[in-house]
Amino acid sequence: MRAVVVVASTAARRQALVSAVASTDASLQVWSTDLAGLRLTDADDLLIVDGIELARLVASSVGRSARLLVLDDDPAAAEVLLELPVAARGVISARASAAQIVAASAAVDAGLTVLPGWLRDVPRRPTGPVNGIAELTLDVDQHRGSTTLPVDESLTPRERQVLDLLVEGLSNRRIGTALGISEHTVKFHVASIYGKLRASSRAELVRRALRRGLVAL
Protein backbone atom coordinates (compact mmCIF):
# COMPACT_ATOMS: atom_id res chain seq x y z
CA MET A 1 0.00 0.00 0.00
CA ARG A 2 1.18 3.53 -0.69
CA ALA A 3 1.21 6.25 1.94
CA VAL A 4 -2.01 6.80 3.86
CA VAL A 5 -3.38 10.31 4.27
CA VAL A 6 -5.93 10.91 7.04
CA VAL A 7 -8.31 13.78 6.28
CA ALA A 8 -10.41 15.09 9.16
CA SER A 9 -11.79 18.45 10.20
CA THR A 10 -10.29 18.58 13.70
CA ALA A 11 -6.70 18.15 14.82
CA ALA A 12 -7.75 15.82 17.64
CA ARG A 13 -9.54 13.44 15.29
CA ARG A 14 -6.64 13.49 12.82
CA GLN A 15 -4.15 12.68 15.56
CA ALA A 16 -6.30 9.86 16.94
CA LEU A 17 -6.71 8.22 13.53
CA VAL A 18 -3.04 8.58 12.59
CA SER A 19 -1.95 7.04 15.90
CA ALA A 20 -4.42 4.17 15.58
CA VAL A 21 -3.46 3.27 12.00
CA ALA A 22 0.29 3.70 12.47
CA SER A 23 0.35 1.58 15.63
CA THR A 24 -1.56 -1.22 13.89
CA ASP A 25 0.67 -1.48 10.81
CA ALA A 26 4.14 -0.02 11.27
CA SER A 27 4.92 -0.51 7.56
CA LEU A 28 2.48 2.24 6.56
CA GLN A 29 3.51 5.85 6.07
CA VAL A 30 0.67 7.79 7.69
CA TRP A 31 0.19 11.52 7.85
CA SER A 32 -2.79 13.84 8.13
CA THR A 33 -4.28 17.08 6.86
CA ASP A 34 -7.47 19.06 6.74
CA LEU A 35 -9.29 19.88 3.50
CA ALA A 36 -7.37 23.13 3.02
CA GLY A 37 -4.04 21.32 3.22
CA LEU A 38 -4.96 18.60 0.73
CA ARG A 39 -2.83 18.56 -2.42
CA LEU A 40 -3.64 17.18 -5.85
CA THR A 41 -0.68 14.82 -5.54
CA ASP A 42 -2.37 13.21 -2.53
CA ALA A 43 -4.65 11.43 -4.98
CA ASP A 44 -1.82 8.92 -5.43
CA ASP A 45 -2.21 7.88 -1.79
CA LEU A 46 -4.98 6.06 0.06
CA LEU A 47 -7.21 8.68 1.70
CA ILE A 48 -8.99 7.90 4.97
CA VAL A 49 -11.70 10.54 5.30
CA ASP A 50 -13.71 11.26 8.43
CA GLY A 51 -17.31 11.70 7.28
CA ILE A 52 -19.16 11.49 3.98
CA GLU A 53 -19.66 15.24 3.58
CA LEU A 54 -15.93 15.81 3.89
CA ALA A 55 -15.38 12.93 1.46
CA ARG A 56 -17.55 14.68 -1.10
CA LEU A 57 -15.33 17.76 -0.88
CA VAL A 58 -12.16 15.67 -0.96
CA ALA A 59 -13.30 13.84 -4.10
CA SER A 60 -13.88 17.12 -5.92
CA SER A 61 -10.41 18.31 -4.89
CA VAL A 62 -8.20 15.35 -5.82
CA GLY A 63 -9.89 13.89 -8.89
CA ARG A 64 -10.80 10.52 -10.33
CA SER A 65 -7.63 8.63 -9.41
CA ALA A 66 -8.36 8.91 -5.69
CA ARG A 67 -9.03 5.94 -3.44
CA LEU A 68 -11.23 6.87 -0.49
CA LEU A 69 -12.08 5.02 2.71
CA VAL A 70 -14.82 6.94 4.51
CA LEU A 71 -15.59 6.61 8.22
CA ASP A 72 -19.30 7.26 8.74
CA ASP A 73 -22.25 5.63 10.52
CA ASP A 74 -24.95 7.20 8.33
CA PRO A 75 -26.68 4.50 6.20
CA ALA A 76 -27.00 7.10 3.42
CA ALA A 77 -23.21 7.33 3.22
CA ALA A 78 -22.95 4.33 0.89
CA GLU A 79 -25.31 5.78 -1.68
CA VAL A 80 -23.44 9.10 -1.66
CA LEU A 81 -20.08 7.36 -1.83
CA LEU A 82 -21.02 5.27 -4.86
CA GLU A 83 -21.81 8.45 -6.77
CA LEU A 84 -18.41 10.02 -6.18
CA PRO A 85 -16.09 10.05 -9.22
CA VAL A 86 -13.17 8.18 -7.67
CA ALA A 87 -11.18 5.08 -8.60
CA ALA A 88 -12.00 2.99 -5.52
CA ARG A 89 -14.01 3.55 -2.40
CA GLY A 90 -15.17 2.09 0.88
CA VAL A 91 -17.19 3.05 3.93
CA ILE A 92 -17.00 1.59 7.41
CA SER A 93 -18.23 2.65 10.82
CA ALA A 94 -16.71 5.75 12.38
CA ARG A 95 -16.28 3.55 15.47
CA ALA A 96 -14.29 0.87 13.63
CA SER A 97 -11.20 -0.52 15.31
CA ALA A 98 -7.75 0.35 14.00
CA ALA A 99 -7.36 -3.18 12.64
CA GLN A 100 -10.64 -2.87 10.75
CA ILE A 101 -9.58 0.47 9.29
CA VAL A 102 -6.26 -0.97 8.10
CA ALA A 103 -7.96 -4.04 6.59
CA ALA A 104 -10.56 -1.95 4.77
CA SER A 105 -7.82 0.42 3.58
CA ALA A 106 -5.95 -2.49 2.01
CA ALA A 107 -9.09 -3.63 0.20
CA VAL A 108 -9.82 -0.13 -1.15
CA ASP A 109 -6.20 0.30 -2.18
CA ALA A 110 -6.55 -2.93 -4.17
CA GLY A 111 -9.46 -1.38 -6.10
CA LEU A 112 -12.34 -2.96 -4.20
CA THR A 113 -15.51 -1.22 -3.06
CA VAL A 114 -15.96 -2.02 0.63
CA LEU A 115 -19.42 -1.85 2.19
CA PRO A 116 -20.04 -3.17 5.72
CA GLY A 117 -22.86 -5.57 6.48
CA TRP A 118 -25.11 -2.95 8.01
CA LEU A 119 -25.18 -1.17 4.63
CA ARG A 120 -25.79 -4.20 2.45
CA ASP A 121 -29.45 -3.33 1.83
CA VAL A 122 -28.60 0.07 0.34
CA PRO A 123 -29.28 -0.02 -3.44
CA ARG A 124 -26.06 -0.09 -5.43
CA ARG A 125 -25.28 0.57 -9.07
CA PRO A 126 -23.22 -2.02 -10.95
CA THR A 127 -19.65 -0.76 -11.13
CA GLY A 128 -17.18 -1.06 -13.95
CA PRO A 129 -13.57 -0.24 -14.72
CA VAL A 130 -12.56 3.25 -13.67
CA ASN A 131 -9.21 4.54 -14.89
CA GLY A 132 -8.24 0.97 -15.74
CA ILE A 133 -9.02 -0.37 -12.27
CA ALA A 134 -11.75 -3.01 -12.04
CA GLU A 135 -14.07 -2.43 -9.12
CA LEU A 136 -15.65 -5.21 -7.10
CA THR A 137 -18.37 -4.59 -4.56
CA LEU A 138 -17.34 -6.56 -1.50
CA ASP A 139 -19.95 -7.11 1.19
CA VAL A 140 -18.20 -9.17 3.83
CA ASP A 141 -21.40 -10.20 5.62
CA GLN A 142 -23.17 -11.26 2.45
CA HIS A 143 -20.18 -13.28 1.28
CA ARG A 144 -19.37 -14.84 4.63
CA GLY A 145 -18.49 -18.47 4.02
CA SER A 146 -19.02 -18.25 0.25
CA THR A 147 -15.87 -16.48 -0.84
CA THR A 148 -14.03 -17.65 -3.96
CA LEU A 149 -10.70 -17.17 -2.23
CA PRO A 150 -9.62 -20.55 -0.83
CA VAL A 151 -8.79 -21.08 2.81
CA ASP A 152 -6.09 -23.71 3.19
CA GLU A 153 -7.56 -25.02 6.41
CA SER A 154 -10.97 -24.25 7.84
CA LEU A 155 -11.19 -22.52 11.20
CA THR A 156 -12.85 -24.25 14.13
CA PRO A 157 -15.91 -22.60 15.73
CA ARG A 158 -13.74 -21.44 18.65
CA GLU A 159 -11.14 -20.01 16.28
CA ARG A 160 -13.92 -18.10 14.50
CA GLN A 161 -14.93 -16.59 17.86
CA VAL A 162 -11.34 -15.62 18.63
CA LEU A 163 -10.89 -14.16 15.14
CA ASP A 164 -14.01 -12.00 15.48
CA LEU A 165 -12.66 -10.53 18.73
CA LEU A 166 -9.19 -10.04 17.25
CA VAL A 167 -10.73 -7.98 14.47
CA GLU A 168 -12.49 -5.84 17.08
CA GLY A 169 -9.04 -5.03 18.48
CA LEU A 170 -9.28 -6.94 21.77
CA SER A 171 -6.13 -8.09 23.52
CA ASN A 172 -5.54 -11.78 24.23
CA ARG A 173 -6.44 -11.22 27.88
CA ARG A 174 -9.75 -9.52 27.01
CA ILE A 175 -10.56 -12.24 24.48
CA GLY A 176 -10.02 -14.85 27.18
CA THR A 177 -12.32 -12.98 29.55
CA ALA A 178 -15.02 -12.62 26.89
CA LEU A 179 -14.92 -16.32 25.97
CA GLY A 180 -14.31 -17.70 29.45
CA ILE A 181 -10.97 -19.29 28.58
CA SER A 182 -7.41 -18.70 29.76
CA GLU A 183 -5.03 -16.28 28.07
CA HIS A 184 -2.75 -19.25 27.34
CA THR A 185 -5.59 -20.98 25.47
CA VAL A 186 -6.28 -17.78 23.54
CA LYS A 187 -2.63 -17.63 22.47
CA PHE A 188 -2.89 -21.21 21.26
CA HIS A 189 -5.94 -20.37 19.13
CA VAL A 190 -4.34 -17.16 17.83
CA ALA A 191 -1.23 -19.06 16.75
CA SER A 192 -3.40 -21.60 14.96
CA ILE A 193 -5.36 -18.85 13.17
CA TYR A 194 -2.13 -17.13 12.08
CA GLY A 195 -0.89 -20.41 10.66
CA LYS A 196 -4.09 -21.28 8.82
CA LEU A 197 -4.39 -17.83 7.26
CA ARG A 198 -0.63 -17.57 6.67
CA ALA A 199 -0.41 -14.18 8.37
CA SER A 200 2.62 -12.69 10.11
CA SER A 201 0.98 -9.71 11.87
CA ARG A 202 -2.42 -8.80 13.25
CA ALA A 203 -3.01 -6.27 10.46
CA GLU A 204 -2.18 -8.89 7.82
CA LEU A 205 -4.40 -11.40 9.62
CA VAL A 206 -7.37 -9.02 9.47
CA ARG A 207 -6.74 -8.26 5.79
CA ARG A 208 -6.60 -11.96 4.90
CA ALA A 209 -9.71 -12.74 6.94
CA LEU A 210 -11.56 -9.89 5.22
CA ARG A 211 -10.56 -11.06 1.76
CA ARG A 212 -11.79 -14.57 2.60
CA GLY A 213 -15.13 -13.36 3.93
CA LEU A 214 -14.40 -14.68 7.42
CA VAL A 215 -15.09 -11.43 9.26
CA ALA A 216 -17.44 -8.47 9.00
CA LEU A 217 -16.36 -4.86 9.31
Tens of pLDDT, residue by residue over 15-42, are: 999 998 888 877 788 989 888 888 766 6
CATH of domain 157-211: 1.10.10.10
**Residue 8 predicted with pLDDT over 90:** yes
- Which pLDDT belongs to residue 40? 65
Tens of pLDDT, residue by residue over 60-99, are: 888 788 889 999 988 788 888 888 888 888 998 898 888 8
Angle formed at CA 193 by CA 215 and CA 211, multiple of 5 degrees? 35
Strand order in the sheet with 112-115: 30-33, 4-7, 46-50, 67-71, 88-92, 112-115, 136-139
Task: Please tell me what DSSP assigns to residue 28.
Answer: S
Q: Where are the domains of the chain?
A: 4-139, 157-211
Nearest to 69 by CA among 107, 26, 19: 107
- Which pLDDT belongs to residue 2? 63
- Which pLDDT belongs to residue 18? 93
- Chain Cα centroid distance, residue 28: 14
- Which pLDDT belongs to residue 147? 31
- Residue type for position 60: S
Tens of pLDDT, residue by residue over 98-117, are: 888 888 888 888 777 787 66
Q: How far apart are CA 133 and CA 9, in angstroms?
A: 29
Tens of pLDDT, residue by residue over 156-202, are: 889 889 998 888 888 889 999 999 998 888 888 888 888 888 887 77
- Which pLDDT belongs to residue 162? 92
Tens of pLDDT, residue by residue over 126-140, are: 444 333 333 334 433
How is domain 4-139 classified at the CATH fold level?
Answer: Rossmann fold (3.40.50)
> What's the mean per-residue pLDDT of the chain?
77
**Residue 142 predicted with pLDDT over 90:** no
Backbone angles phi and psi of 216, in degrees to 5 = -115, 140
